[in-house]
Structure 1
């Protein structure tokens, strides 16, 4: 990771200067002050065993135990524990679920099979249709659904839910370490989404010897806009509470205090742990502490099938001393032949590398809606290079690589970002392209949500696949998902003003579905325009042509009209979330008609920040894995 030694100091100086300019001076507790004096071992556990059983050589128990005491009443934490039958001196893991989720027995099944004792517990409290959960007994901000405030800093950050939930996480560590088969010196923890955000605050528990934050990385008061990469973007003015939060309980504030090896798993377009900011959190970890990240390209709150081995492998190395974890690669964007930018990647342990994939993005400053292209990679003597043509040398170029190892581990390189003209590069993409996807590149830049937010080995599969349809023409199939692409945000594939969208489709059952066009996806002034489509059954290709007048704003009903050129994301949404034809095929998406006009990024408008308050939050229950939640409603 690139080292940003001045980031935290700059953050605090900025907070002081910003608060002095906008409000009275802001004072708050620092992360060490927040946790000073807290002893997660002090209170008795008072365990209540609800059920025990043994299955496939693993012993399970379902329990309640004490959390902290408030006004004379203990919080009663609900959890489930499992360990290999007859195990001794076992490394232990604590699972911290995400927003809207709860205990997850599937994690116990998978990780006990690798020789771990595992504790999964509920921090969210009461939830609709859930029979068992942590009893917060009226503690304000304890129950996720009943929170009275977000990012609470007054009277102190200890009033906020994340403080309470992190306390509960530390109490789960206490429960785990007291199990007779657990080696208390070999305990790790991992968190999903909101649980991933808590992983940074758990830095103040010295019992944690290795950790993994999934999606959660902090920086949530910075909205989705990153002014580092937004040329001409208006300044975002944080509130006094934002400044207090950033300096106290925000995950990035705790990053400099992380002393255990930290892995960050996420996706390049995630909406909770923004890719560009997540790397800053890793950079804030003290020098000498191992850290790594692995990003599934194009996904938005899910982990791809290729990455499910990373979490167990990380803990195997750092808790069990088994296997190896490669060092982070060296990368840089340099000037290649013919003044074309080039990403250079030098992986560690080159002899164990299976392949390197390089992804590049043009212009889009916001990680949540950036289009990632695949670049052609060449290898020579352990050095991997990929040339990256650009369309505007004065706009940012982004690039990163994923390195695949024989062990099954996949790691990502640092994110590289540069304005190509600063290197002497010139634009080599001379004309925009009306064809977004023709099918020849496999699935191409199309993506979808995976089968769950939790990267549980054996539970993640591929839902988009390259196929060959009628007349031998290639395309992709989608099984039970809404495929989408960020290609329209790419300057080469942007829609002409007033253009129609056209594509080919094969369905032997007929389909009722909705085509959605998103403007400013998940940032300020986010708008969705949709168009309903009904196709009859046909064994051959059918061409769908959708003029802009058919796309209606989902909130106002207004037509997208000529402004279709401002669209950044294209999505296909089946009725009832399932395609009627399980072998439906799509291909040849293109823009028809219209005219190309100079493009003005939405964030450069004077009113670009008017909606910012609606797009930043610390809550991620709206991103939850629906399959995981549904499977746990019985608990």
Structure 2
């Protein structure tokens, strides 16, 4: 009954406010307090799109159009969004999906071309308004509202930055605190209009539409996923709920300080309010240390779904950077749920977790073991999921099960999950890389005591004698360029990180003139531990293997601060061959023959 009344009121108000997409709430008592009421009466197909095609390209069996279409009318002015619409030139009605880029990014023509060659039509919306083509000036124009990130990206920006809070200003829809004043609301309106755009294209089957997006686009995906027209979604590194909830024991690790209306935000904008209403299958793709899609929040969000058709895949030891084993799952998920072609995607690996006093047991039993390449179990006692070091456990394999027994400590949480790597039937060429495997996570299990004390981490036994000897290859490291390597290992509580230690590196230049650069960052640690960024550069002139000893005081930092070993979140090493100015590949055995050993020494 309440929903029907809201619908009638909204339609009546529209008749009083001419062509406005939304009638402003003048009284705070009228503002919706939940997602259902917020979107009651909104019909993304009601207003004409007024599509304008600016330019068209055709090559390799793919047609791409640079187009703009109407998002809505706000404050008497139309808001329009630019996009690339790409589709296979096959005379068919194809499966299709919307792509929403991330913060600071833009729509990309190449992405649409790639997916058209995979048999999908796509519309890649340029919500931020950054230039898309050097010779085309027509672009996104939000008119008298502005959900973008400010003038650094959007030349017509009305604010200095992006509007996260719900408070009114001269550019907001409502003159009272309202979820419609947050940037996320308008971006979701644009996303739902993009679904309408696809529905109306003759090259698209309107019954086979999905949605995917990266980072901020992942959040847009989560909020748009309630649209009943969608058959599957795939948020990347964004879209988790509970963004306003601090990590256990880590004060200031959420965004709650940005809101004077926290309850209103939690009920209408935070993705946790949306996931219970999502009926379509969800593939959540992320990184194990993602700042925008924190690890625990992924699973807390998936637990809200009213169904079990979801999977999670994360790139280990990475922040905001899925790898090929994650990206390929977008292809598989949409092939299966939009095209209807079974990809034989395994179920989420079955796992159990039991705590008995001071010990916990984790067991995982992956399915489809004839395709299984590896099963890796990771655990941590660190409640900060952005900067924790995921230590790989020495698991026992018996029959179809992998198990591990882990100690439980008072005042510390324990987190554990399995990453299962599967073989594809054939190698898949992605937009930028290629892979013959994909990875799926088990459920994450946790034991979180009522009271969490970060200080207890430093009192755990110091059993790690060597920081890194690469005997396990790059098991504890990540890379984005297959050259530089990065680790979170300084956050491993089994490492003695006393400040009287010095950093020792054994390097064999093999007759070359090399330059070493080490970056250490405290970013995303708790507020008291965030010292900023530090760097040191050393030339390596000798031709024989040598030991470099570096004290923490030698690192150059922000504002004259001194580095502390225990307050390094990420530790990154680059070695450059000065004769070619090229980075050495530190991910390879050849690279490990040069960078041989890393220790903290007295």
TM-score range, shorter chain: 0.7 to 0.9
- Deviation at 1:222? 2.8
Q: Distance in 2 between matches of 1:519 and 1:152?
A: 27
SS at match of 1:492: coil
Q: 2:571: which partner in 1?
A: 570
Q: Does 1:177 align with 2:199?
A: yes
Q: Distance in 1 between matches of 2:486 and 2:49?
A: 48
Paired residues in the alignment total 527
1:236 and 1:582, CA in 2 relative to 1: closer, same or farther beyond 3 A?
Answer: closer
Q: 2:446: which partner in 1?
A: 417
SS at match of 1:527: coil
After superposition, give the CA deviation of every residue in 1:153-184 in whole Å (9 maximum; x if it has no partner): 23221122111111111111111111112110
Q: Does 1:244 align with 2:264?
A: yes
1:210 and 1:360, CA in 2 relative to 1: closer, same or farther beyond 3 A?
Answer: same
Q: 1:279 aligns with which of 292, 295, 299?
A: 299
SS at match of 1:314: helix
Q: 2:598: which partner in 1?
A: 589
After superposition, give the CA deviation of every residue in 1:450-484 in whole Å (9 maximum; x if it has no partner): 36xxxxxxxxxxx1xxxxxxxxxxxxxxx2x4x22
- CA contact 2:531–2:561 (8 Å) conserved in 1: no
- CA contact 2:372–2:420 (8 Å) conserved in 1: yes
Q: 1:138 aligns with which of 138, 143, 146?
A: 143
Q: Bigger CA drift: 571-580 or 312-321?
A: 571-580
1:389 and 1:233, CA in 2 relative to 1: closer, same or farther beyond 3 A?
Answer: farther
Q: 1:315: which partner in 2?
A: 334
Q: 2:82: which partner in 1?
A: 78
**Within-5 A mapping of 1:451-462:** none
- Which consecutive unaligned segments of at least 5 residues does structure 1 have? 1-23, 423-428, 452-462, 464-478, 594-635
Q: 2:386 aligns with which of 365, 368, 374?
A: 368
After superposition, give the CA deviation of every residue in 1:215-263 in whole Å (9 maximum; x if it has no partner): 112447436x412xx3999999765323321111111211111111111
- Deviation at 1:151? 2.4
After superposition, give the CA deviation of every residue in 1:329-369 in whole Å (9 maximum; x if it has no partner): 22123479x986442102233444332121122x2111111
Q: Does 1:486 align with 2:491?
A: no
Q: Distance in 2 between matches of 1:171 and 1:123?
A: 12
Q: Does 1:447 align with 2:458?
A: no
Q: Distance in 1 between matches of 2:57 and 2:318?
A: 37
- Which consecutive unaligned segments of at least 5 residues does structure 2 have? 1-27, 151-156, 168-175, 425-436, 452-459, 586-590
- CA contact 2:577–2:584 (8 Å) conserved in 1: no
- CA contact 2:512–2:577 (8 Å) conserved in 1: no
Q: Bigger CA drift: 534-543 or 272-281?
A: 534-543
**Does 1 or 2 have the higher relative contact order (CA < 8 Å, sep 6+)?**
1
Q: Distance in 2 between matches of 1:26 and 1:435?
A: 62
Q: Bigger CA drift: 544-553 or 517-526?
A: 517-526
SS at match of 2:526: coil
**Within-5 A mapping of 1:147-546:** 148=159, 150-154=163-167, 155=176, 156-219=178-241, 221-222=243-244, 225-227=246-248, 230=249, 239-286=259-306, 288-323=307-342, 324-334=344-354, 341-361=360-380, 363-388=381-406, 395-407=412-424, 408-418=437-447, 431-448=462-479, 450=480, 463=482, 479=483, 481=484, 483-507=485-509, 509-519=512-522, 521-525=524-528, 526-528=530-532, 530-546=534-550
Q: Distance in 1 between matches of 2:105 and 2:235?
A: 16
Q: Distance in 2 between matches of 1:232 and 1:114?
A: 46
- CA contact 2:513–2:542 (8 Å) conserved in 1: yes
Q: Distance in 1 between matches of 2:31 and 2:56?
A: 49
Q: Distance in 1 between matches of 2:138 and 2:348?
A: 40
1:139 and 1:523, CA in 2 relative to 1: closer, same or farther beyond 3 A?
Answer: farther
Q: Distance in 2 between matches of 1:356 and 1:435?
A: 25
1:73 and 1:529, CA in 2 relative to 1: closer, same or farther beyond 3 A?
Answer: closer
- CA contact 2:354–2:360 (8 Å) conserved in 1: yes
1:213 and 1:71, CA in 2 relative to 1: closer, same or farther beyond 3 A?
Answer: same
